[in-house]
Chain A
């Protein structure tokens, strides 16, 4: 029978990757609306998996695949693609749902390709009408939404963006599912790359996560010299100064001040976005802010979709005037 398979991702500490629980919620909802059973897969070694798989089965996932191999201890795209291709070829799910993590971005497109299919990546919403599913993803840095429908016959691969589905909080219930062991045929010679241990460059000295007020600056600032007007605003507000990725890429502010999917996730009382267009990679890092104030010259900037207060205009006029008004 057709099913929805959710490929879960765990952290090195043995817990779930946050987006995994969101992908699970998306998978459960899709399964319910498509009237299909839901299955999950967890990849790793036989020592690492039992706690995780037992938890999912207790939470009512009908079939939980423990995909076990010593060669799955450390992530490599080669081993993950080979293992999942075998599992999917055998189980033939109608949908395969992934969390849109860095790891998934690294292997899921190759997996879909190996199965002569495509992945609909970075999905922010889904809809089932008359038994047909569509998936929405963003184009043009969030300025447009595009709705995709499956046209092929194989499994439909989708990855879900962080913060788009409310995390699954199911607890152990009455109807427990079943854990099944799946041992893929893997050969060490298939694994072409040698991953090293993860490392950090330096201890983080700025904790934006606990800041009550953040002033964040984006590409609209134009030049490094212009940053001072934003720094002055931050100072007047007693706020931490933060930025979107391009500002840190350019070296204008240190990487540790970056907010977004590749930086810090913040939830201040007030977030002032200056010259930030609001691509999804930035929004996932600041959607938890209580009040969002956005200043941008482009009235169509996606940042305004999440803003409580929107100032459409020239930041080079508004920001200095605002700093003066705050000081008076």
Chain B
């Protein structure tokens, strides 16, 4: 079974975030990491390959040169090879100049050259959080899809797969679907592995193929303004050292909770 995993590189979670100088984007510094939901998708792909005892896991990402580090991380964890659609950091042709449809189109072009049995990706990104790329990609590829998938049952060479997906309020559902198919993976269905030293060493000899992106179409939506959210409540800010803060919190809690 050939599996393509689409991953995104996003700013590290604790990185300080500022509004970009033009007021319409993010200045997220230079600490980058693999989007966590995509890491769960990669993990599911690697486990699936291990369970089947055959197959290939190809990791795919679009973004500037820096995306290399995320692809290398995926290779070190066990992906067999990588595809990198190299886009400019900013300006014409960059990811920011493309809407959800435009970014998914870039990925679709690359997936088509691979004709995989499965395409996996995270259910959403930690930066823009639209939660759409996977579903849009499925539609562009003409593939059936399932979202919020926690586990995948497949056998080698099978024409059908069965997935368990999360519904709301603690409910779940099994879905049967033909392959090729696209699945967006929900976190928590498996446990993420770390890259081993051996894996990191092996990754050095694995192939990363760089491709040029297609020109960007005009966006269907426009980002007018990016801003820091306003507080919705009157917040009492506690200052001082830990013991002073704790004393004030204890006083407040005793009053509220009645202990």
Q: How far is the CB of A208 from chain B (nearest CB, A)?
A: 12
Query: Cβ of A151 and Cβ of B256 under 8 Å apart?
Result: no
- Whether a CB of chain B sits under 8 angstroms from the CB of A256 is yes
Report the Cα distance A139→B130, complex, angstroms.
9
CB neighbours (8 Å) of A154 from chain B are 220
Query: Cβ of B259 and Cβ of A322 under 8 Å apart?
Result: no
CB neighbours (8 Å) of B131 from chain A are 105, 109, 121-122
CB neighbours (8 Å) of A219 from chain B are 13
Query: Cβ of B221 and Cβ of A193 under 8 Å apart?
Result: no
A116-B101, A118-B99 given. 11 additional CB < 8 A pairs? A105-B147, A109-B135, A145-B227, A151-B218, A197-B173, A200-B170, A238-B257, A305-B229, A324-B246, A325-B246, A326-B259
- Whether a CB of chain A sits under 8 angstroms from the CB of B197 is no
Stretch of A29-37, A168-176, A242-250 at the chain-chain interface: A242-250
Report the Cα distance A302→B230, complex, angstroms.
10
Interface residues of A (CB under 8 A from B): 77-78, 81, 101-102, 105-107, 109-110, 112-114, 116-122, 134, 137-152, 154, 192-201, 204, 212-213, 219, 237-239, 245-246, 248-251, 255-256, 262-263, 269-270, 272, 277, 280, 291-293, 295, 298, 300, 302, 304-314, 317-318, 321-322, 324-326
Report the Cα distance A262→B16, complex, angstroms.
27
Query: Cβ of B140 and Cβ of A113 under 8 Å apart?
Result: yes
- Residue from A77, A204, A277 with most neighbouring chain B CB atoms (10 Å): A77
Query: Cβ of B220 and Cβ of A138 under 8 Å apart?
Result: no
Question: Which DSSP category, helix, strand, loop or mixed, fits chain A's interface?
Answer: mixed
Report the Cα distance A250→B39, complex, angstroms.
13
Q: How far is the CB of A157 from chain B (nearest CB, A)?
A: 9
Q: From B19, which residue of chain A is reached at the shortest CB distance?
A: A144
Report the Cα distance A326→B254, complex, angstroms.
7
Query: Cβ of B17 and Cβ of A300 under 8 Å apart?
Result: yes
- Whether a CB of chain A sits under 8 angstroms from the CB of B28 is yes
Q: How far is the CB of A149 from chain B (nearest CB, A)?
A: 5
Interface string of B125-168 (1 = CB under 8 A from A): 01111111001101110001111100000000000000000111
Query: Cβ of B166 and Cβ of A102 under 8 Å apart?
Result: yes
- Whether a CB of chain A sits under 8 angstroms from the CB of B252 is yes
Query: Cβ of B224 and Cβ of A148 under 8 Å apart?
Result: yes
Report the Cα distance A114→B127, complex, angstroms.
25
Q: From A140, which residue of chain B is reached at the shortest CB distance?
A: B17
Interface string of B238-259 (1 = CB under 8 A from A): 1100110111011011101101
Query: Cβ of A121 and Cβ of B130 under 8 Å apart?
Result: yes
Known: A146-B226, A318-B249. A199 touches B172 (CB 8 A): yes
CB neighbours (8 Å) of B170 from chain A are 200-201, 204, 255-256, 263
Across the interface, A304 reaches (CB within 8 A) one of B28, B99, B145, B231, namely B231
CB neighbours (8 Å) of B171 from chain A are 198-200
CB neighbours (8 Å) of B252 from chain A are 293, 309
Query: Cβ of B13 and Cβ of A144 under 8 Å apart?
Result: no
CB neighbours (8 Å) of A107 from chain B are 135
CB neighbours (8 Å) of B140 from chain A are 113
- Whether a CB of chain A sits under 8 angstroms from the CB of B200 is no
Query: Cβ of A141 and Cβ of B259 under 8 Å apart?
Result: no
Known: A121-B130, A193-B146, A237-B257. A306 touches B233 (CB 8 A): yes
